[in-house]
Amino acid sequence: MLKNYIKIAWRNIWKKKGYSALNIFGLALGITCASLILLWVEDEMSFDTIVTDQELVYSVPTNQVYEGQKRTFFQATPGPLAAALKTEIPEITKAARLRNRDFLFTVNSSSISSSGSYADPDIFDLFNLKFIEGNATDAFKMKESIVITKQVAQILFENPTNILGKVIRVNQQDNFKITGVVENLPVNTTYSFNWLVPFENFTYDKPWTQEYGSNFTETFVKLSPDADFKSVNEKVKHILPAKTGDEDTQAILHEAKNWHLRSDFKDGEVVGGRVEYVRLFSFIALIILVIACINFMNLATARSEKRANEVGVRKTLGSNKQQLIFQFITEALMIAIFAVLLSILILIFIIPAFNALIDKQIALDLTIPSHLLSLLAITLTCGIFAGLYPAFYLSSFKPIDVLKGNRIQSKEAGFIRKGLVITQFVISIVFIISTLLVYQQVQHVKNRDLGLNKDNLIEIPVNGDLIKNRKAIAESFKNTGMITGLGLSNSNILSAGNNGSGLRWQGGSNTEDVLVSYRYINDEYFKTTGIELIEGRGFSPVVVNDSSHVIITESFAQLMGTGSALGKTIDRYGDMYTVIGVTNDYLYGNMYGTSDPVMFYNYPPEAQYMYLKTNPKYATTEVLRSIESTLKEYNPGYPFEYRFVDDAFDARFKSEQLIGNLSRIFALLAILISCLGLLGLSAYTAEQRRKEIGVRKVLGSSVAGIVRLLSKEFLVLVVVAILIAVPLAWYIMYTWLQGFAYRISIHAWVFVIAGIAAIGIAMVTVSFQAIKAAIQNPVKSLRTE
């Protein structure tokens, strides 16, 4: 029986090749789009699976109150906290600290620069690291131990096996002995590292790391299986106040399964994160599939007259309604199967480009059961959803009416068909408006006044002898004419960096509650980065390591009361500093908000980054070769590593740019799928009215007049869609923009452009068929009359 249904369905699909091709291609585009989104969602949901006990492992951020506002910091716990948590809270079985660092590794003639962490021994269990060589028990028995990943071992050693006990030269000054080799961490890991060394290598000879007031590390804990999270979290919150007497600073627990997807905090509580994008695009995948299914329903019901005779004959020969419904759904399922197969071919070709766009490595691996089940679910959903209404509609025809030659007309079907067309274009127009506004928002923030000049600015990590030889390096750069400034800083220019509170200054009240960022720089830093001195003077190039003078930003100066801030003093934990200059405020940290006040010190030895301002007269490749040559001369043994600050700035908008890019893709797909449906409907409308068109042409109607006649109905539908889409898009985008402190206003011209674009696209699609029908010889249309 089923075999007969399939044969009949195949015959009907083949007989209506053009109609079937539109359906298959439209569904294939929808399935392709949905599949791309589902693969992206799968990747997002698979983060941190290396942590097998995700419900028991937690990071420990801190909530700190500044100026009445609770703020959450992820890399700001004091050094002694991990041990205190493990010792004083019985439910915590493991605790470890991590502090990231870049090391230069040298083995014989092989050298690499690699990112890793200082860590405590419990990290091996917390992150479920798999040892290829060595074991977790013995890995950190010595201070000079190092555990490396398989990838690092393969780079450093010709034969990366049996390397326990071998020595790695670190930063050209220390020797570490390999005590373990672990499997590479997956790419989708929030806290990633290529090597680990005992944490005491960082804390050694640094007494301040043992103080509860020094927040410099990340802390992780593991709870016992029977622990109650709420109870333990309350105990964790009370640890720091008990140690410091400061009720405004509390540690909290953040579950491993939320590290990637739910890491946005407000007032000390999780409010969301990338999970919002996962939900958004999952919904979009469903919407795109709905648009594709609408095409099928529209075209199927539009061809009702063509199928009426078939239904009448089959009912006369004994077929009942249930059998006809099953037959039509079988056809829809077969079309869905062909669409899925076509979408698989499309995916094979476009996934590499999609990966480049979203900076991931997703793959359609059909050996994974979940991928096959997803495709099966999509096939069944599309086939049944798209075929159900046409099946019930077509199977309801009365054979006596059909066989008498009565025309099958249904106001209900026409109304539904128009409603579906409107729905398609509402979605498409919302996508167009959203794409425009997302692009505007990203550009608005990227083009705001940063207070610094990121153009032609290169950032180089400080290592080896760069600080010691900085004067000779600067002189060498100056002689080439390619470098116009060399600045040094302890913090990345775009990041929050070192900060603290508890300061006191003249002209201020409740000053201890203000969070201030600290920058240790050289005298050329402002000139190099384009931060302007608006009052006073800069640091002297002669007096280095100035211990009594500071420069502050304008927002800091305003906190010091009325009048000039020059000459006023700042008390930082008993050390007094005099303000000698004020700079403009500049943007760092949160690119969408306002940045904290900054206090600059003239102390280059603390620098972690070197900034070079390049002369735009010279080609970039030529400048980079010159810089590399100079640095190899004065800092041999270290690879030349750099990045352009404007590239780093652009990377800060990765999530927003991803939304923009995906919105553009889905907008184009939604429009294309909608146009396919419109093309089919307009073609069928023209076919239905071919005799009317013939009569009109004989009576003198022009081609333009006939095109207007056939296009008018569809134009009305698009206008209705615009009227619905505009307020809907406004509400969606207004709500989205409220998440940004620095945001655009929504202007009417965006909706005008989207409306014109929708009308233009629809008219081009419809006019193609209308013109084709209008220029046909009327004799062909009327010859049967």
Beta carbons of 219 and 81 less than 8 angstroms apart: yes
Contacts of residue 240, defined as CB under 8 A and 6 or more positions apart, other chains included, come to: 62, 78, 81, 212, 246, 249, 250, 251
The strand pairing partners of 570, in sequence order, are 505, 577
If we measure between CA atoms, which residue out of 92, 96, 175, 162 comes closest to residue 128?
Answer: 96
Terminal-residue alpha carbon distance, the chain: 42
Instruction: Report the alpha-carbon distance of residue 136 to residue 442 in Å, rounded.
Output: 46
Higher pLDDT, 647 or 381: 647
Q: With 0-12 CB in 10 A as exposed, 13-18 as middle and 19+ as buried, what is 165?
A: exposed
- In this structure, are residues 223 and 229 in contact, taking their beta carbons and an 8 Å threshold? yes
- CA distance readout (Å), 723 to 425, 429, 624, 710, 756: 11, 10, 55, 22, 12
Tens digit of pLDDT for each residue in 244-256?
Answer: 888 889 999 999 9
**Who wins on pLDDT, 612 or 771?**
612
Angle of helix 654-688 versus helix 17-45 axis, rounded to 10 = 160
Q: Higher pLDDT residue, 132 or 700?
A: 132
Beta strand pairing status for 269-272 and 264-266? antiparallel
Q: What is the DSSP letter of 271?
A: E
* Beta strand residue intervals within 584-718, DSSP E: 598-602, 609-614, 643-644
pLDDT tens digits, one per residue of 643-676: 999 998 888 887 777 777 777 787 777 777 777 7
| pLDDT tens track for 473-489 | 989 988 889 999 999 99
What is the average pLDDT score of the chain?
83
Residue type, 265: F
Q: Which amino acid is at 438?
A: V
Q: Report whether pLDDT(535) > 70.
A: yes
- The pLDDT-based confidence of 693 (bands split at 50, 70, 90) is low
Lowest mean pLDDT, pick from 98-112, 225-239, 597-611? 98-112
Specify the pLDDT at position 581: 94
Classify residue 69 by its DSSP letter: E
Q: Taking 90 as the threshold, does the pLDDT of residue 142 lie above it?
A: yes
Q: Report residue 196: phi and psi, to 5°.
A: -140, 140
Residues with Cβ < 8 Å from 140, sequence gap 6 or more?
120, 121, 147, 179, 198
pLDDT tops 70 at residue 2: no
224 compared with 445, residue with greater pLDDT: 224
- pLDDT beyond 90 at 179: yes
Cα 46 from Cα 67, distance rounded (Å):
38
Please write down the HEC assignment for all residues of 383-445: HHHHHHHHHHHHCCCCHHHHHCCCCCCCHHHHHHHHHHHHHHHHHHHHHHHHHHHHHHHHHHH
* Per-residue confidence band for 67, with pLDDT thresholds at 50, 70 and 90: confident
Give the number of other CB atoms < 10 A from CB of residue 393.
Answer: 20
Element (DSSP H or E) covering residue 143: none
pLDDT of residue 337: 85
Q: What is the C-alpha separation between 651 and 141, in angstroms, rounded?
A: 40
Query: How far is the C-alpha of 143 from the C-alpha of 626, rounded, in Å?
Result: 39
Query: Per-residue pLDDT tens for 728-766?
Result: 999 988 988 887 777 888 999 999 988 888 888 777 777
Left if phi > 0, otherwise alpha if psi is -120 to 50, otherwise beta: which for 510? left
Confidence of residue 259 (pLDDT cuts 50, 70, 90): very high
The SS3 of residue 566 is coil
Lowest mean pLDDT among 130-134, 413-417, 606-610: 413-417
pLDDT at 384: 79
Residue 510, pLDDT > 70, answer yes
Question: Residue 64: enclosing H or E segment and its boundaries?
Answer: strand 62-66
Give pLDDT, residue 5. 45
Query: Residues 704-716: pLDDT tens digits?
Result: 666 676 677 778 8
CB 139 within 8 A of CB 220: no
| Least confidently predicted of 241-245, 504-508, 553-557, 562-566 | 504-508
Work out the number of other CB atoms within 10 angstroms of the CB of residue 684: 18
Residue with tokens 């010792």: 87
| Whether pLDDT at 201 is above 90 | yes
pLDDT cut 90: percent of the chain above it: 36
User: Given a cut of 70, is residue 319 above it in pLDDT?
Assistant: no
Nearby residues of 500 by Cβ (< 8 Å), 6 or more positions away: 515, 516, 518
CA-to-CA separations, 163 to 113, 147, 148, 160, in angstroms, rounded: 19, 11, 11, 6
Q: Categorize the per-residue pLDDT at 177 as very low, low, confident or very high, splitting at 50, 70 and 90.
A: very high
Average pLDDT over residues 444-463: 89
- Residue 222 sits at φ, ψ, to 5 deg, of -130, 135
Q: Which of 102-106, 334-338, 384-388, 773-777 reaches the highest mean pLDDT?
A: 102-106
Residue 551 clears pLDDT 80, i.e. is over it: yes
Q: Which pLDDT does position 305 carry in this prediction? A: 54
- With a cut of 80, say whether residue 399 has pLDDT above it: no
What's the confidence (pLDDT) of residue 9? 47
Percent of the chain with pLDDT over 70: 83
Torsion angle in degrees (nearest 10) through CA of 412, 414, 420, 421: -160
User: Given pLDDT bands bounded at 50, 70 and 90, which one contains residue 785?
Assistant: very low
The mean pLDDT of 67-75, rounded to a whole number, is: 86
Question: Is the confidence at residue 299, as pLDDT, over 70?
Answer: no
